[in-house]
Amino acid sequence: MFNTVALVGATGAVGRIMRQLLEERPLPAKTFRFLASKRSAGGTITFRGQDHQVEELTKDCFAGTDLVIATTPDEIARDYLPSAVEAGATVIDESGYWRMKEGVALVIPEVNPQDAINAKGIIASPNCSTTQMVVALKPLHDAAKVKRVVVSTYQAVSGIGLSGTKELEEGTHMHLHGQPYNYTAFKHPIAFNCIPQIGGEKEAGYTSEEMKMVYETRKILGDESILVCPTCVRIPVANCHSETIAVETERPISPEEARGLFESFPGIKVVDDIGSSMYPMPLNSTGSDLVYVGRIRKDLSHPNGLSFWCVSDNLRKGAATNAIQIAELLAKHRFGK
Amino acid sequence: MFNTVALVGATGAVGRIMRQLLEERPLPAKTFRFLASKRSAGGTITFRGQDHQVEELTKDCFAGTDLVIATTPDEIARDYLPSAVEAGATVIDESGYWRMKEGVALVIPEVNPQDAINAKGIIASPNCSTTQMVVALKPLHDAAKVKRVVVSTYQAVSGIGLSGTKELEEGTHMHLHGQPYNYTAFKHPIAFNCIPQIGGEKEAGYTSEEMKMVYETRKILGDESILVCPTCVRIPVANCHSETIAVETERPISPEEARGLFESFPGIKVVDDIGSSMYPMPLNSTGSDLVYVGRIRKDLSHPNGLSFWCVSDNLRKGAATNAIQIAELLAKHRFGK
């Protein structure tokens, strides 16, 4: 088993869910440590029946730690995680900073587990909107090679963190009462609105969130020829991202074949009966670790096209769950359990 | 000028806006009549400074009326509008019933005005999600021929009518207070959720709303070769539909050329500066008669592809405004004003 597992960013929105997952799921480890910024250090976290003091994250705090699971802003990941690697730890990073770096593994356990097993140094967990899409694309790619993807996202405010959830609730309340509300986590009011920008401008008029979907998809699937056209949109939903995905494959995949491929892939659940108004939705996907797929149908505009709808809990499979699953994968490989 | 103009469905969500538009804009007519179902008949409407009694819609109520502008459910349009044509009236219909019928004109005044001028009998106004997309596609189609469109919609609850708006407000209020709410206008809770179904199942797993976008687009643009892959999604926004549109044209159109084409087309306003977080959004498009376009960029997944974002007030340009503009077009053609 692991000797010491450190959870970095233990007090944030994703860190909370990671702790919850580590309570529920038996990652084998002797000791757990909880690290956070100076602001949150000193507090107490109760975990597996014991109180733990939250330690301050520093560059020399990693001695004796063999696994680090980190969920922090990009700059913190950039500044602190190399010290963890130097101290000999395996590092699983949820931030965006390391994902596309040469030599860093970018892993979804259902999709490319071997990349985690072969990794030296940091193993990155992908962006939330990418993860659920790539889980859904993988069985199609294996069966018929994905050539092109047009994806539009319907993203929840929890992706911003606790402030996003708080401001959606407060802003909506004030809107219903005809009162103004001063948003700081969003560039525009989010209550009863949608904002077609997530992240800053990156290149060619695309945002950073959109370009993550382009580049991370190729790296995880190990295929630089895959073309992706994304539009990322924030909508007034508390939790769970939804996506419309139109995919072109080298040979046509019928909706029936696609349904079978999705159903036999680990981590995917098909909910698909439009006649009975059954399909995945944010409200009924929250709290689950699965990627839900529905509205599976032939793309009417392309002979090799398939169109579907995909929903997943962005804080869980899109972040915390995927990182913990990577840790579990490593434990199984190293310790056989 | 018109002798008598009758507004059918005068008391509904779209009917209210039609009256408002007819107050603001000088459609030349001697007399206006307001018709509604038996339930709403007998009430009083104040219009252009005069009180009018709401008359009951019957099959023999159209004698002496030369223009009918109707916004009713499909079955009412089916049952009553032929009587208006027989009585000699020109009929502009906002419902879905007549749009795809042989011999019925389907018109957006900026796009295919001649079809209204040549029409005998009913002139239909398109579905809201189709109208804003086709206005945006038309200048691209004229310049470089549209071959394929992948569209995902983010549709407001006002598309359902007054009950949609009421249930979004009430359901959101109850959700914020942790209370259940019994929705009747929606198949699932809409507060803080999105529902990937608008209309019933139509064909091949697509909904009626989606198939409207396929067929109406071809009819309005007069090009049966245009391929459309739509996904229509209801989101918790009060008013204005948004759409992501990925379009392939016969020759490539650069974002710069597209911007110029959009800007010189009547009825379109470009709001497009991602660096300054400027783009169209539902909250700042409501109450306008324009189609707003932003996020104009090259489709990274196709050499002849262009991707953009489009927002419009579904009750106005998507419904009331388009019908009134058809009436104005006819007035100008017949009476020169």
- Three-class SS of chain B: CEEEEEEECCCCHHHHHHHHHHHHCCCCEEEEEEEECCCCCCCEEEECCEEEECEECCCCCCCCCCEEEECCCHHHHHHHHHHHHHCCCEEEECCCCCCCCCCCEECCCCCCHHHHHHCCCEEECCCHHHHHHHHHHHHHHHHHCEEEEEEEEEECHHHHCHHHHHHHHHHHHHHHCCCCCCCCCCCCCCCCCCECCCCCEEECCEEHHHHHHHHHHHHHHCCCCCEEEEECCECCCCCCEEEEEEEEECCCCCHHHHHHHHHCCCCEEECCEHHHCECCCHHHHCCCCCEEEEEEEECCCCCCEEEEEEEECCCHHHHHHHHHHHHHHHHHHHHCC
pLDDT band, residue B239 (cuts 50/70/90): very high
φ, ψ (nearest 5 deg) of residue B117? -65, -40
Question: What's the pLDDT band for B336 if we cut at 50, 70, 90?
Answer: confident
Residue A125 assigned as binding residue: no
- Tell me where in chain B the CATH 3.40.50.720 domain(s) lie: 2-126+319-335
Q: What is the mean pLDDT of residues B241-269?
A: 98
Q: Sort out which chain B residues have CB atoms less than 8 A from A206's CB and list them.
A: 297, 300
Q: How far is B309 from chain A (nearest CA, A)?
A: 8
How do residues A142-191 score in pLDDT, each as one tens digit? 999 999 999 999 999 999 988 999 999 999 999 999 999 999 999 999 99
Q: Which of A194, A229, A299 sits opposite B305 (nearest CB)?
A: A229
- Residue A141 CA to residue A136 CA, distance in Å, equals 9
Whether B271 and chain A come into contact, CB under 8 Å, resolves to no
A254 inside 8 A of chain B by CB: no
Query: Residue B30 burial by CB count (10 A; 0-12/13-18/19+): exposed, middle or buried?
Result: exposed
Give the bridge partners for A297, in sequence order. Answer: A307
Give the model's pLDDT for residue A325. 98
Residue B336, chain A, CB below 8 Å: the answer is no
For residue B276, the surrounding DSSP H or E stretch is: none
Q: Is the per-residue pLDDT at B337 higher than 80? A: no
Distance from CA of A231 to the nearest CA of B (A): 7
Q: How confident is the model at residue A278, as a pLDDT?
A: 98
Q: Is the CB of A301 inside 8 Å of chain B's CB atoms? A: yes
Would you state the pLDDT for residue A26?
84
Give the rounded distance of the alpha carbon of A275 from its chain centre.
Answer: 31
Closest CA to B121 of B139, B134, B103, B137: B103
With residue B50 as reference, give the H or E element that holds it: strand B50-53
CATH annotation of A129-314:
3.30.360.10
Contact A108, A294 (CB under 8 A): no
B191: pLDDT strictly greater than 80: yes
Mean pLDDT of B259-275: 98
| B2-126+319-335 under CATH 3.50.50.60, yes or no | no
* Residue A337 in this model has a pLDDT that exceeds 80: no
Residue A308 is predicted with a pLDDT of 99
Report the alpha-carbon distance of residue B130 to residue B165 in Å, rounded: 21
Question: Is residue B264 marked as binding?
Answer: no
Q: Which of A298, A318, A313, A309 is nearest to A153 (CA)?
A: A309
pLDDT number for residue A261: 98
For the stretch B224-234, pLDDT in tens is 999 999 999 99
Q: What are phi and psi of B128, to 5 degrees?
A: -55, -45
Domain with CATH 3.40.50.720 in chain A: 2-125+319-335
Q: Which of B17, B12, B9, B59 is nearest to B35 (CA)?
A: B9
* Number of neighbouring beta carbons within 10 Å of residue B140: 22
Task: Yes or no: say if A30 and A18 are a contact pair by the CB < 8 Å rule.
Answer: no
Domain with CATH 3.30.360.10 in chain B: 129-314
Confidence of residue B13 (pLDDT cuts 50, 70, 90): confident
Q: Residue B153 in contact with residue B132, Cβ under 8 Å?
A: no
What whole-number distance in Å separates Cα of residue A223 and Cα of residue A214? Answer: 11
pLDDT attached to residue B317: 97
Mind listing the pLDDT tens digit for each residue in A114-140?
999 999 889 999 999 999 999 999 999
Q: How many CB pairs under 8 A join A and B?
A: 171
Domain A2-125+319-335 indexed as CATH 3.30.2320.50: no
* Maximum pairwise Cα distance, chain B: 60
pLDDT tens readout for residues A221-275: 999 999 999 999 999 999 999 999 999 999 999 999 999 999 999 999 999 999 9
